[in-house]
Structure 1
Amino acid sequence: MKKSTKHPLAVWSTAALAALMISVSPVGAYTAQAATVTEVKGTATVVAPPAPAGPVRNTTIPPLLDAFKQSQRPNVLVIGTGGTIAGQSTDATSFQTYRAGTLAIEDMVNELPDKDKMADVSTLQFGNAGSGSYTFNDLYDLSLTVDKALEVYDSVVVTTGTDTMEEIAYFLDLTVQSDKPVVITGAMRPWTVVGSDAQANLYNAIKLAASGRTESFGTVLMLNDTIHPARGVTKTDANRMDTFQTPMLGAIGYVDEKTIRIYRAPKRVTLPEGEGKPVFDLSKISKEDLAKVEIAVSYQEAGGGAIRGFVADGAQGIVTAGTGAGGISRDMSAARREAIEKGVIFVSTTRTGSGSVYSSGEGIISGDNLSPQQARVLLLLSLSFTKDFDTIKGWFETYGTPEV
């Protein structure tokens, strides 16, 4: 992989980190602030802080170190956003009782042994919150920050919470313009508990990013020694460490100590430079252009109220998570017809967790085997760039299809 200029570790004092945790965390972020609300995360009782005045994201790339300029090792920027991986447990055996998004990414990276044998590692604390607390406006900033970092870094690792990691990963996969490796990782156990997967996941994510093996792959996800493509990966268990799976197609590779195995790659790796890359360049739109898209789930005798409510609330697109191969109830179907007449675009997916949906029609696009939550990300980005139905349908038939 081509060598590029390098950045040093960002310096975060204890006081600065405390200020960051108070000013950055949005509602629902799990930090060490005084708690006023109790939330349930899996089987764990997690304490959430009071709502701050508003989120502030750090997007400033760290400055260069002369030592990094002279080094022959690849450089990796680790961007921390919080989550369980940055969690502080009640004690060393509190596997599920902890405050997520508490520890500083610089401190976590500094604890990793022998990292300088594989890369020069720098850090950036973008935020410190649970993954579900981030808005698409935040992800807009995160994506542009990753691209900015890759102008000088060889690769980027992004740490997040696992709850909505599959949506964050797919958003980055569709929007980051650089071909350099982007690896997203997290953990199912907090950093400070015995037997945590956090340290191994972060170490292996850095190793994978530094190797350059996923150049032109887009964003990949690395947890539990397993490499998954961003497109198609999903969280399948609330607590287990092997929670992330890619239904139908499976993982693309594994990290086994010094060995990194890649068994398949996305089609765009084989295409000429610039081809096959998604068209969603966020530098060409503003945050105000980001579309509003919702998900409506079908079930026995499901009513049409959800769809009508989403339309009344301003949804420009709706993903239906249907039964079987995308079926929805009679009432939902009637509400969908009304919405289509108002210009709302629908994508049909299945709630089963696996399998392809091919049904389409006027105002309806097939979601193939995209999960409802990832189909929502693609539809949201598509509607942010165009309102033309045929163009969006074409994007789902290309970027939304898992060609390898």
Structure 2
Amino acid sequence: MSTLSMKVMKATLAIGVTAAAFAPVIYTPSTYAAEVTGTVISSTPPTAGSTPAVNKLPKVEVIATGGTIAGQSADATSFANYRAGTLLIADMVAELPDKNKIAQVSTYQFGNSGSSAYSISDLYDLSLRVDQALKTQDGVVVTSGTDTMEEIAYFLDLTVRSSKPVVVTGSMRPWTVIGSDAQANLFNAIKLAASGKTKYFGTVLMLNDEFHAAREVTKSNSYRTDTFITPELGALGYIDEDGVRVYRAPARALLPASTWNTPFDLSKLNKSNLAKVEIAYSYQDAGAGAISSFVANGAAGIVTAGTGAGGISRAMSAERTAAIADHNTMFVATTRTGSGSNYSTGKNIIAGDNLNAAHARLMLLLSLSFSKDFDTIKGWFDTYGSAQVSVPEK
């Protein structure tokens, strides 16, 4: 067992419960930690012994938010019995072998919680911290729990202003069990960020030796290490040993540099002005007042996860019509199938293309935070929210 595991094993052996049962835990910083402010720990490992050759390597900062990757298991074979968000990223990076061959790595402990514990307001702060790091770094890796990782990645994709590589990673097994995917995922995420090959790709998500576009990726299984997939379209590329192979690019990478940035510059928005957007799920005979309840509780926008190509029940449709007429509520139509496109449009209704409901919610939330004009928001969905590409005539 590693030295890191021994530090907290006594505290966790007696507990033996799943990660979901715990509130976030922040441990006292190790000898590598430099600063503690509330629940946020900033830490950077020492660079003693660095050489001129090392100093020429790309600089990558790992920003940690917790999750399973920072989990401490009850014992070395407890794959599902662990305490997430326990270990510090400075200590985890310190354990990685050969990292100094691929990058100059620094760390920042943004938090230590499961992914679903973070609010949109927290993601606002995280995005600004990523951009701050990219002023001096060549790339950033964000570690996260996997439950809402696709949402965290897509929020960063839509809001980070820098075109430098941003890679989100985590693991399906805690750091301290045999056969954990945590170490390999973290190492490969650093390698991918340092390679520079995803510059202008926006944020990508990397696990299981694969990297995916944040806009398109989704979690498909609650346990398997190959859980993250891009339905229909597939991964952007793979990491095999020293090879970082890119086989396709997201649509946004094809935009001119002058128009690459989205309109969602968080530095120009107070986070108290972030819009409230909800998701209404359609099913057989659905219509127990979900849409009207969301509107009554302040939702400025609603994403419908419809059947087939996006259809919703009669009752939901009637509520949607009333919400548009009475409150000017904005809607985005998506399909609950998780893949395939939706082109249903109408007054205050935007087609979600092939965005899943969770991703469409973030796109609508940010759009409504910056504009209330339907045509403007629809235009943003048609450009920054779309995955479709056009090839110019030669």
Smaller-chain TM-score range?
Answer: 0.7 to 0.9
Q: CA deviation at 1:49?
A: 3.1
Matched, 1:357 2:342: yes
Alignment match, 1:74: 58
Unpaired stretches in structure 1, ≥5 consecutive residues: 1-12, 19-30
Q: CA deviation at 1:69?
A: 9.8
Matched, 1:121 2:108: no
Superposed CA RMSD in Å reads 2.6
Matched, 1:83 2:67: yes
Indicate which of 32, 40, 52 corresponds to 1:58: 40
- Native 8 Å contact 1:302 1:331 kept in 2: yes
Q: Which aligned runs of 4 or more in structure 1 are off by greater than 4 angstroms?
A: 59-70
- Native 8 Å contact 1:187 1:201 kept in 2: yes
Residues 123-143 of structure 1: CA deviation (Å, up to 9, x unaligned): 000000000000011000000
Distance 1:128 1:289 in 2: 26
Q: How many residues are matched?
A: 369
Matched, 1:278 2:262: yes
Distance 1:269 1:162 in 2: 25
- Native 8 Å contact 1:350 1:371 kept in 2: yes
Distance 1:322 1:124 in 2: 40
Residues 55-76 of structure 1: CA deviation (Å, up to 9, x unaligned): 9563868699697795101110
Alignment match, 1:9: none
Alignment match, 2:314: 330
Over 3 Å counting, the alpha-carbon distance change for 1:359 and 1:150 in structure 2 is: same
Over 3 Å counting, the alpha-carbon distance change for 1:50 and 1:240 in structure 2 is: closer
Aligned to 2:126, the other structure's residue is in SS state helix
Q: CA deviation at 1:46?
A: 3.8
Matched, 1:298 2:272: no
- Native 8 Å contact 1:295 1:321 kept in 2: yes
Aligned to 1:222, the other structure's residue is in SS state strand
TM-score by length of 1: 0.86
Aligned to 1:248, the other structure's residue is in SS state coil
Alignment match, 2:271: 287
Indicate which of 93, 115, 123 corresponds to 2:77: 93
Aligned to 2:344, the other structure's residue is in SS state coil
Aligned to 2:257, the other structure's residue is in SS state coil
Residues 94-123 of structure 1: CA deviation (Å, up to 9, x unaligned): 111111111100111111100001111000
- Native 8 Å contact 1:266 1:403 kept in 2: no
- Native 8 Å contact 1:86 1:103 kept in 2: yes
Distance 1:380 1:99 in 2: 32
Alignment match, 2:164: 180
Percent identity between matched residues is 64
Distance 1:356 1:337 in 2: 22
Alignment match, 1:23: none
Residues 226-273 of structure 1: CA deviation (Å, up to 9, x unaligned): 010101100011111111001121100000011110011123434432
Unpaired stretches in structure 2, ≥5 consecutive residues: 27-36, 390-394
Alignment match, 1:5: none
Distance 2:91 2:106 in 1: 11
TM-score by length of 2: 0.88
Alignment match, 2:303: 319
Alignment match, 2:368: 383
Alignment match, 1:400: 385
Q: CA deviation at 1:45?
A: 6.5
Q: CA deviation at 1:403?
A: 3.3
Over 3 Å counting, the alpha-carbon distance change for 1:50 and 1:259 in structure 2 is: closer
Residues 357-400 of structure 1: CA deviation (Å, up to 9, x unaligned): 00010011000110000000000000000111111111111111
Aligned to 1:274, the other structure's residue is in SS state helix
Over 3 Å counting, the alpha-carbon distance change for 1:67 and 1:386 in structure 2 is: farther
Alignment match, 2:330: 345
Partner amino acid, structure 1, of 2:265: D
Alignment match, 2:155: 171
